[in-house]
Amino acid sequence: MSGTAGFRYADLFAGIGGFAAVLEALGGEHVYSVEIDKHASRVYARNWGRDPYGDVTEDASDGVMKVGEHDVLAAGFPCQPFSKSGAQKGMDEIRGTLFFNIMEVVRAHHPALVVLENVRNLAGPRHVHEWEVIIERLRAEGYQVSETSAVFSPHQIDPAFGGSPQVRERVFITATHVPDGHVGDPLVRPLALPAHVRMTREWDLVEDLPLEESHHVPGTDLSADDVAWVDHWDKWVQFMHALRASDADAAGEPARRLPGFPVWSNVWVASKEEREELMHPGGVRVPAWKANFLTKNWELYDRIRRVDAKWLRSWLNTTRTFPESRQKLEWQAQDETSLWNCVLSLRPSGIRAKRMTHLPALVAITQTPILGPRDRRLSPREAARLQGLPDEFDFGPQRDALTYKQLGNGVNVGVVWNVLKAHVERDKHLLHATDRGRAIYDAVANAPESPREPLRRALARRQSAVATLMPAGAV
């Protein structure tokens, strides 16, 4: 094993370095990294001192292997469709997908530990075939890997152990190479978080992230349309709260919550003919789920009309000047009394309102959440905190849109940290059977419970080296 590090790592589909952050904090020695996005590569270089810009299909394919020897292979790989044509099995079935290139690296070097990350849907019912191919190919190369998926999210993890208030469920496939003379367990249990790591209280987004105090963080201001849409729907929320309170007083019961079904004001019509056309467009009845929501929306509309038809008519006249997606509301904020008290996501399906406890998953498209109590969107720095990156992480002078995209594509540091800790404890007996496996175990098992301080120290070392070796403006 070269160098002084306990283990060496390769980082495929590296992004801005979420896996690198963990592996560097654990004392790993970088051997290889690759990332096809030039903007993400520049951020990786600014922080980790090496430019991963390149194409893994050119570096790891038939007859080509530019990836050096390593002990840990990490890959948050894109999930391309696997061919289902015919009844063929084996490597022919994954050729043409990026998983093929991962397996080329595995076949060449057989790293002691392989860590793969993907969207939860990879382990869902629509991708059973793809999941089986991945597990089968890893086992065929001599790895112990659970066929049962392990799904983790940062909001499940206590902040003392690296958790953060983001619901971001991702599936992890972790595999240990079975040394000569040993036999892998075909029924090995899936990874699970130990009880003491799990979050047991309700998140507080303001304190636990934390949020910046300012209402005026550059680049996060709301547009005039944003404010108009939220203000207008907030009038409806206030109307509904007043209506429900009066109903409760009349019945002598507690006030009910706002509707839990999607509110579609764009389908609020009165005539039977219009409703029939919406229920049977082109003479074909809509799916049952949609029929249920249409019926509930018409019942809601009729009820409001009976209470105050004049107010509703005025409110709807304005609503129907909005884009269709802004004529819809998904209320998931329980007993909150105003949209401006909520986390708001302006989605194609409507304006979604949630309590200020935690955030939905960052995504690589422009759906940056609105923080109602701050009158602005989530800032890039706050988004980085959601992914477990310290405030010292340097995105350089790039546009905020690129930063949001990169973070939405990245892995969460706290989740990876805890996944590795759970994995080395589960496969301790196999890792202890070889020198390189023991080095990985020692580095991970003896690391602090939280990645925050080791990560800050590792980042400071790398950024110092970058500043020393590269001229200003080089990355």
Q: Could you list the active site residues?
A: 79
Which 8-state DSSP code applies to residue 451?
S
Longest dimension (CA), the chain: 81
Tell me how far apart the alpha carbons of residues 407 and 367 are, in angstroms, rounded to a whole number: 13
Structure tokens at 202: 């309700």
E strands, 324-469, are: 328-332, 343-347, 350-354, 359-360, 370-371, 376-377
User: Which amino acid is located at 45 in the chain?
Assistant: A
As a whole number of Å, the end-to-end CA separation of the chain is: 31
Residues 6 or more apart in contact with residue 118 via CB below 8 angstroms: 76, 77, 79, 170, 171, 173
User: Which amino acid is located at 139 in the chain?
Assistant: R
Residues 6 or more apart in contact with residue 316 via CB below 8 angstroms: 265, 268
Tell me how far apart the alpha carbons of residues 153 and 149 are, in angstroms, rounded to a whole number: 13
**Which of 364, 404, 398 minimizes the C-alpha distance to 384?**
404
Tell me how far apart the alpha carbons of residues 241 and 167 are, in angstroms, rounded to a whole number: 28
Number of CB atoms found within 10 A of residue 332's CB: 16
Tell me how far apart the alpha carbons of residues 195 and 197 are, in angstroms, rounded to a whole number: 5
Structure tokens at 49: 């001192």
Number of CB atoms found within 10 A of residue 378's CB: 24
Q: Which residues on neighbouring strands pair with residue 166, listed in sequence order?
A: 359
**Which of 185, 186, 176 minimizes the C-alpha distance to 432?**
176
Which 8-state DSSP code applies to residue 26?
T
In terms of DSSP bridges, do strands 328-332 and 263-264 run parallel, antiparallel, or are they unpaired?
A: antiparallel
Q: Reduced to 3 states, what is the DSSP secondary structure of residue 2?
A: coil
Residues 6 or more apart in contact with residue 12 via CB below 8 angstroms: 33, 34, 56, 73, 74, 75, 77, 101, 102, 105
Burial class (CB in 10 A: 0-12, 13-18, 19+), 423: buried
